[in-house]
């Protein structure tokens, strides 16, 4: 099919060398993430305090949770699915062109053509879209642009609301996020995980933690997301009514380790493709992230320093483990 990236050619080269194998992927237990009903925020102070407690507990014990009654309409979700599939069905040579959507260079990404072992290779493709670029998307993709605008408009408000809920038990003022996370600094990532003939050996997305304060994910019902909790990997059971929220490195550092940014990955399916959309709630580039507690577990840092350190981490140990780096510990 002309829309598929050249996954097979890259992987076959890696599979031919036995030293490039990683451990075979094994079956994992399935889990249901904590579910938070955001509609209860409308039922007075007592119910709101209960929600605050539930969200904080999920963020500290799991690092992941689900939200229902989140305000994203089914119509918007359905439109996003339709437009996303249309986009990924574009011929591969067109997708790698920087002017397909009039986005910045390297907005379209697939696998890792420079991988030297399977641990570095992700069997997936994605469009990484800054919110500042959405209004300038090419006019022939007007339907995609309007769908993304509607999706991002709702998710940006949702992300800020959840961040403010999480800030309350920490004693952080709600205006912190209004001041440090303007709409222009966040971004959207459209993901497609193609069927993989080597599904027992190749990840759809390698193990990592997220850069941001929060990530909000819509995933289809195929499944494949796995989280690392209590020393083992757990598969996340899809919930058709929920959005998934996970804590990023910035919130773990800001909370002084109370909230957990945990490793997660995506496994592949041999026969079925999987789609997801992720919204990353990020601060401005030079905002200083400083732990709210004392003694501070992490030294203060900026997004600029984060990016520099994660490049080193990925090159050295094939994972983004920024907060575990000795350079980040006080």
Which domains does the chain show, CATH number per domain?
A: 7-18+26-288 (2.60.120.330)
pLDDT at 324: 62
Q: How far is CA 197 from CA 13, 268, 276, in A?
A: 14, 9, 20
* Least reliable range by pLDDT among 66-75, 76-85, 136-145, 314-323: 314-323
Q: Give the number of C-alpha atoms closer than 13 A to the C-alpha of residue 159, restricted to the C-beta side.
A: 31
* Least reliable range by pLDDT among 100-109, 287-296, 305-314: 305-314
More confident residue, 43 or 196: 196
pLDDT at 317: 46
Contacts of 288 (CB under 8 A, 6+ apart): 300, 301, 302
- Token couple for 209: 């933690």
**Residue 189 appears among annotated catalytic residues:** no
Per-residue b/e over 259-268, b at no fewer than 16 CB within 10 Å?
A: bbbebbbbbb
Alpha helices in 243-285 (DSSP H): 249-254
Residue 311 has pLDDT above 70, yes or no: no
Instruction: State the average pLDDT for the chain.
Output: 88
User: Which residue(s) pair with 50 in the sheet?
Assistant: none
Contacts of 189 (CB under 8 A, 6+ apart): 126, 127, 128, 129, 277, 278, 280
pLDDT at 25: 65
Q: What is the mean pLDDT of residues 164-190?
A: 93
Residue 98 has pLDDT above 90, yes or no: no
Given 138, 274, 299, 304, the catalytic residue: 274
The 8 Å CB, 24+ separation contacts for 303-308 are: 303/211, 306/211, 306/249, 306/250, 307/211
> 112 near 122, Cβ under 8 Å?
yes
pLDDT tens digits along 184-238: 899 999 999 999 998 888 899 999 999 899 999 999 999 999 999 999 999 999 9
- Token couple for 195: 């069927």
């Amino acid at each position: 099919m002309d829309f598929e990236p050249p996954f097979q050619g890259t992987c076959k080269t890696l599979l031919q060398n036995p030293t490039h194998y990683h451990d075979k992927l094994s079956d994992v237990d399935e889990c249901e993430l904590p579910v938070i009903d955001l509609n209860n925020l409308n039922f007075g102070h007592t119910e709101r305090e209960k929600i605050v407690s539930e969200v904080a507990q999920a963020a500290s014990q799991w690092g992941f949770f689900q939200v229902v009654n989140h305000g994203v309409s089914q119509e918007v979700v359905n439109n996003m699915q339709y437009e996303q599939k249309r986009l990924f069905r574009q011929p591969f040579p067109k997708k790698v062109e920087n002017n397909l959507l009039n986005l910045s260079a390297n907005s379209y990404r697939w696998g890792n053509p420079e991988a030297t072992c399977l641990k570095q290779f992700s069997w997936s493709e994605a469009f990484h879209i800054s919110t500042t670029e959405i209004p300038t998307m090419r006019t022939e993709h007007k339907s995609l642009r309007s769908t993304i605008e509607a999706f991002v408009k709702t998710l940006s408000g949702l992300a800020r609301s959840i961040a403010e809920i999480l800030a309350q038990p920490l004693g952080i003022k709600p205006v912190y996020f209004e001041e440090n996370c303007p709409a222009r600094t966040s971004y959207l990532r459209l993901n497609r995980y193609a069927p993989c003939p080597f599904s027992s050996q190749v990840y759809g997305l390698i193990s990592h933690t997220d850069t941001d304060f929060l990530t909000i994910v819509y995933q289809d019902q195929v499944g494949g997301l796995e989280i690392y909790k209590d020393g083992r990997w757990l598969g996340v059971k899809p919930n058709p009514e929920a959005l998934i929220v996970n804590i990023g490195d910035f919130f773990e550092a800001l909370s002084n380790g109370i909230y957990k940014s945990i490793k997660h990955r995506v496994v592949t399916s041999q026969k079925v493709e999987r789609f997801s959309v992720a919204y990353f709630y990020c601060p401005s580039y030079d905002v200083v992230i400083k732990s709210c507690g004392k003694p501070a577990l992490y030294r203060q840092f900026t997004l600029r320093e984060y990016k520099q350190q994660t490049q080193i981490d990925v090159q050295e140990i094939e994972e983004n483990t920024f907060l575990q780096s000795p350079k980040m510990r006080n």
